[in-house]
Amino acid sequence: MTQTPRIASIQTEDYTPAQHDMFEALTGGPRAALRPKKEFLNSEGGVGGPFHPWIHSPMLGFPAQALGAKVRFDNSLSGDLRELAILVVGAYTKAEYEWWAHSKIGLAEGLKEDIVSAIRTTRSHDDDASDWPPFDNDAQLAVYRFALELTQTSHVSDARYAAVQQLLGDQQTVDLVVTIGYYTLVSMTLNTFQIQLPEGVEPSFT
């Protein structure tokens, strides 16, 4: 059953100066190199994704999108590890828009299709490791298990922490936690306000 967004989409011509500044920041910078401005808009002529509700509160929406740009483009994690962590969050929270967007990005960053497909079926962080997804290396497995545990329990055991820290070091471990936290915020935003997928895209979790 298709849900209706719980908050109105504001068309760009109706933006306040603060909303306009947020939109220009959102659609400029490194994001602008990936897609034209019109592709940031939804079918109603307003900005899509989590920015749809955030534009209603540009005082917080502006820094939220700015952090998102840093997480996406200035992250010390490799692209496959960053997207792996994001997909764990998206699958656990069943955030349709997040999963749709980042499953494509994950593939572009080198995650194999069978890995992405396996992440979609969330398992408990303490399950038997015999049936983990077919990861390419130890770092992917360590990040997967770390992200599962942190997402599911809001804590990380000494063993999970040590596995990631020893492989990635302190900076990447910090960036991993920030990535998981930021995309948890994105998931909560998308789910709370029932932000729809683009037209013609089938949901992955319902």
Q: Is residue 90 part of a domain?
A: yes
Per-residue pLDDT tens digits for 44-55:
888 999 999 999
The DSSP letter of residue 12 is G
Residue 142 CA neighbour count, 13 Å, CB half? 18
∠ CA 185-190-194 to the nearest 5 degrees? 150
How much of the chain, in percent, has pLDDT values that exceed 70? 97
Q: What is the pTM of this model?
A: 0.94
185 in the same domain as 85:
yes
Of 44, 61, 41, residue with least CA distance to 9: 44
Per-residue pLDDT tens digits for 59-79:
999 999 999 999 999 999 999
Q: Work out the mean pLDDT of the chain and round it to a whole number.
A: 93
Q: Is residue 2 part of a domain?
A: no
175 in the same domain as 83:
yes
Structural domain containing residue 84: 77-192
List the beta strands (DSSP E) in 93-150.
none
CB 119 within 8 A of CB 84: yes
The span from the CA of 175 to the CA of 182, in Å, is 10
Q: Which two tokens stand for residue 152?
A: 């599911």
**Last-in-domain residue among 72, 93, 113:** 72
* pLDDT class of 57 with cuts at 50, 70, 90: very high
167 in the same domain as 91:
yes
CB 80 within 8 A of CB 135: no
Q: Is residue 3 part of a domain?
A: no
Q: How confident is the model at residue 2, as a pLDDT?
A: 61
* pLDDT class of 39 with cuts at 50, 70, 90: confident
How much of the chain, in percent, has pLDDT values that exceed 90? 77
